[in-house]
A and B are shown apart, each in its own frame.
Chain A
Amino acid sequence: MNATAVLVFVLLFILITWLGFVAARWRKGDLDLLHEWGLGGRRFGTFVTWFLLGGDLYTAYTFIAVPALLYGAGAIGFFAVPYTVMIYPILYLVFPRLWKVCHRHGYVTSADFVRGRFGNRWLALAIGVTGILATMPYIALQLVGMQVVIGGLGFQTAGLTGDLPLIIAFVILAAFTYTSGLRAPAMIAVVKDLLIYITVIAAIIVVPIQLGGYGKIFAAIPAPKLLLAHPPVGSWGGFGTYATLALGSALALFLYPHSITGILGASGGRVIRRNAALLPAYSLMLGFLALLGFMAVAAGLAANPAFAGGFKIYGNSFAVPALILSAFPDWFVGLAFAAIAIGALVPAAIMSIATANIFTRNIYREFINPVCTDAQESSVAKLVSLLVKAGALVFVFALPLQYALWLQLLGGVWIIQTLPAVLLALYTRMLNGWALLVGWAAGMILGTWMAAAVNFAPVFPITLFGTTIPCYIALSSLIVNLIVTVVLSLLFNPVISDRHRDVTSAEDYA
C-alpha cells in the first residue's frame, strides 16, 4: 500500500463528493421536475457543456482500454483517433436539430422524440429499451476502470473487503446523483477533466524523457504491431477492420443515452456547434494517451516483477496504472489515479441519469402510470438511477469481467440500430414507424447473431463480389436494418400510413 498516493486520492475524492452535493444549489431549479433533475434545466452554456460532454464521452474505461489495446494489439488500437475525428462533424450537423425539436416539445430522451415523431409507443419502447441495454454494461465497465486503479493503489480487490472501496465510491456517486441530478456530474467534470489533462500532459512529457524520446518508444514496438498489416489479395484485411470500426463507432456514439443527455443539457444549438469545434481538444489528449500503451511496452513493464501481480489480475488494462506507478512520485500517482477514478464516476452518473430518464418517460409514464404528476415522474427517475447503479455493482461483483466486455461490444451493435428512427427521422418522415420497428429488430437479431458467430469479436468478414471485407458488425447490421426499413416503408406507407400521428412540425427542425 502506498500511503501518500492513497492520501491524495482520498482527499480528491472528498473534494468531489462535496462538489457533488453543492451542485444541487448551482443554477438552482426545481429538482422535482424531470428536465431540471435529468437535464440540468437545459441551461448549460458552451463552457460547462464542454466539460460535461468531455467528461461524459471520454470515460475512465477509455483511458484504460485504449492504451491497453495498443499495448496488446498495436496499431489497430489507434482506431480511437479516426473514430473521434469523425464524431464531431456528425455532432455539428445532426444534433442541434435534435436539440431543437426536443426543446420545443419537452422531450428528455431520444425515445420521447421517436414517440412524438411517429406516434408509435412500441417503436419508442424499442428505442428506449435498446438504450438501457446498451448503457448497463457500459456503467459496469466504468466500475472495472475504477477497480484497476484501486488495485494499482495497492488494495486487494478480491473478496468482500476488496470490494469495499468500490462500494463506498458508488454509494457516494448514488447519493449525489440522487440529490443533484445532472448538475453533479457537470460540476465534478470540471475538476475531473483538469486532473486528467494534468496527468496526460505530464505523462506525455515525462515518460518519453525517461525512456529516451519518442524515437526510442516507437523503435521498441515490433514491426507487425507498429502498422496495420497490408491486406492479402482479394481482401480489405486490417484496413477494412480499422475503417469500419472507426466509422461504426462514430455513428453509434451520440446515439448512446448518456451522450443524448449531455447534448440535451446544453442551452442551445449554437452551444452544441461550438462544442463540435472545441471538443477535439479531448481527442488530441486521447490520441497521446493511447501512446501510453506503447510507452508501457518500451518501459518493459511486463518484465518488471513489481507489476507481475497487477498484470496477472487485470491483464493489459494494467498497462497505464503500471506506467504511472513506475514513472511518477507517489503524490502524483494519487492525483493521476484519482483522475481516472473520478473519470469513471462522471460518465457513470450521467449514464445512470440517462437510463433513469428513459425508464421514467418511455416505460413508467407510457405504460404504467400515464397520469403521473411531475413530482412523481422525477422521484421515479431518482429511484431508478439508484437501482441502475446497484445493478451495475452486482454485475461487476457477480459475473466474470468477460461478460461485461461482451455486452459492451453488443451494446455498440445494438445502439446503432436506433439510428434510422432517431437520426434519419430528423430529416425525413418518409420512413414508416412499423417499418422502423421491423428494421430495428432485423438489425438487433442479425448483429447479435454475427457477434456470437465470431465468438464476440467486433468484426465479421463479409464476402461481396469475391472480395472479403472484415466489417465492424455494428455497421453491416445497420446497413441491413436500413435496407429493411426503406423497403418496408415503401410497402407500408400506402397501406398503413402513420404520417398523421406526427406531432412535430417543419419549423421544429429549421
Chain B
Amino acid sequence: MQPRYWIRVLLIIPFVAMLWVPFYDRTEPTLWSFPFFYWYQLLWILISAVVIGVVYLVEHTGSNTGGEP
C-alpha cells in the first residue's frame, strides 16, 4: 500500500494562516489582554505543530512505514 501522502495537503494551512496578514492585523478580540495580532500568531505555532504531528502519525501508522529509519 502506498503511504498516505495526500494528508500532506494539510501542511499548506499554516502558510495561508500566516501570509494572510490583513486578517490578523487587529487588536480585537483580545485574549488574556493579548491583542489579537499577538495571540493569533502565537496560537498558530501550536496549531501548526499539531498539524505536522497529525500528518506524521497518519503517514507512519499501520503498514505504511515503508521500512524507513
Is B21 close to A, CB under 8 A? Answer: yes
B69 adjacent to A267 (CB under 8 Å): yes
Chain B positions 8-36 with a Cβ under 8 Å from a chain A Cβ:
8, 11-12, 14-15, 17-19, 21-22, 25-27, 32-35
CA–CA, A88 to B53, complex, Å?
Answer: 11
Chain A positions 57-113 with a Cβ under 8 Å from a chain B Cβ:
75, 78, 81-82, 84-86, 88-89, 92-93
The verdict on A88 contacting B52 (CB below 8 Å), with A81-B42, A214-B32 known, is: yes
Chain B positions 48-69 with a Cβ under 8 Å from a chain A Cβ:
48-49, 51-53, 55-56, 59-60, 68-69
B34 adjacent to A214 (CB under 8 Å): yes
The verdict on A283 contacting B68 (CB below 8 Å), with A82-B18, A243-B19 known, is: no
Which residues from chain B contact A226 at a C-beta distance below 8 Å?
27, 35, 37
Which residues from chain A contact B25 at a C-beta distance below 8 Å?
227-228, 230, 239
The verdict on A280 contacting B45 (CB below 8 Å), with A228-B25, A268-B69, A269-B68 known, is: yes
The verdict on A273 contacting B56 (CB below 8 Å), with A86-B14, A93-B11, A242-B21 known, is: yes
Looking across the interface, which residue of chain B has its beta carbon closest to that of A229? B25
Looking across the interface, which residue of chain A has its beta carbon closest to that of B19? A243
A283 adjacent to B18 (CB under 8 Å): no
Q: How many residues of A contact B (CB 8 A)?
A: 41
B42 adjacent to A277 (CB under 8 Å): no
B55 to chain A: closest CB distance in Å?
7
From B18, B45, B55, A92 is in contact (CB under 8 Å) with B55
Which residues from chain A contact B48 at a C-beta distance below 8 Å?
85, 88-89, 280
CA–CA, A213 to B35, complex, Å?
Answer: 13
The verdict on A85 contacting B56 (CB below 8 Å), with A92-B11, A227-B25, A287-B42 known, is: no
CA–CA, A247 to B18, complex, Å?
Answer: 9
A274 adjacent to B22 (CB under 8 Å): no
CA–CA, A213 to B55, complex, Å?
Answer: 37
Q: What class of interface size applies to chain B in its complex with A?
A: 35 or more
The digit string for A236-254, where 1 denotes a CB below 8 A from any CB of B, is 0001001100110000000
A140 to chain B: closest CB distance in Å?
29
B52 adjacent to A276 (CB under 8 Å): yes
A88 adjacent to B49 (CB under 8 Å): yes
Which residues from chain A contact B38 at a C-beta distance below 8 Å?
78, 218, 291
Is B1 close to A, CB under 8 A? Answer: no
CA–CA, A86 to B12, complex, Å?
Answer: 9
B19 to chain A: closest CB distance in Å?
5
A78 adjacent to B41 (CB under 8 Å): yes
CA–CA, A82 to B44, complex, Å?
Answer: 8
The verdict on A227 contacting B41 (CB below 8 Å), with A88-B48, A267-B69 known, is: no
Looking across the interface, which residue of chain A has its beta carbon closest to that of B49? A280
Looking across the interface, which residue of chain B has its beta carbon closest to that of A241? B21
A89 adjacent to B52 (CB under 8 Å): yes
A85 adjacent to B34 (CB under 8 Å): no
Which residues from chain A contact B11 at a C-beta distance below 8 Å?
89, 92-93
Which residues from chain A contact B19 at a C-beta distance below 8 Å?
82, 243, 246-247
Which residues from chain B contact A93 at a C-beta distance below 8 Å?
8, 11
Is A215 close to B, CB under 8 A? Answer: yes
Looking across the interface, which residue of chain A has its beta carbon closest to that of B55? A92
The verdict on A277 contacting B68 (CB below 8 Å), with A81-B42, A270-B60 known, is: no
B45 adjacent to A284 (CB under 8 Å): yes
Which residues from chain A contact B41 at a C-beta distance below 8 Å?
78, 81-82, 85, 287
From A89, A213, A276, A284, B15 is in contact (CB under 8 Å) with A89
From B33, B55, B56, A215 is in contact (CB under 8 Å) with B33
Which residues from chain B contact A92 at a C-beta distance below 8 Å?
11, 52, 55-56
Looking across the interface, which residue of chain A has its beta carbon closest to that of B33? A215
A508 to chain B: closest CB distance in Å?
13
B43 to chain A: closest CB distance in Å?
10
Looking across the interface, which residue of chain A has its beta carbon closest to that of B48? A85
Which residues from chain B contact A271 at a C-beta distance below 8 Å?
69
From B26, B37, B53, A78 is in contact (CB under 8 Å) with B37
Chain A positions 210-230 with a Cβ under 8 Å from a chain B Cβ:
213-215, 218, 226-228, 230
A237 to chain B: closest CB distance in Å?
10
8 interchain residue pairs of minimum CB distance: A268-B69, A215-B33, A82-B18, A280-B49, A89-B11, A277-B53, A277-B52, A239-B21
Q: Which residues of A contact B (CB under 8 A)?
A: 75, 78, 81-82, 84-86, 88-89, 92-93, 213-215, 218, 226-228, 230, 239, 242-243, 246-247, 267-271, 273-274, 276-278, 280-281, 283-284, 287-288, 291
A-B contact pairs, 12 of them (CB 8 A): A75-B37, A81-B45, A82-B41, A84-B45, A218-B33, A218-B35, A239-B22, A247-B19, A270-B69, A271-B69, A280-B48, A284-B42
* Other contacts beyond A239-B21, A287-B42: 10, CB < 8 A: A78-B37, A85-B48, A89-B14, A89-B48, A92-B52, A227-B25, A267-B69, A269-B68, A276-B52, A284-B46
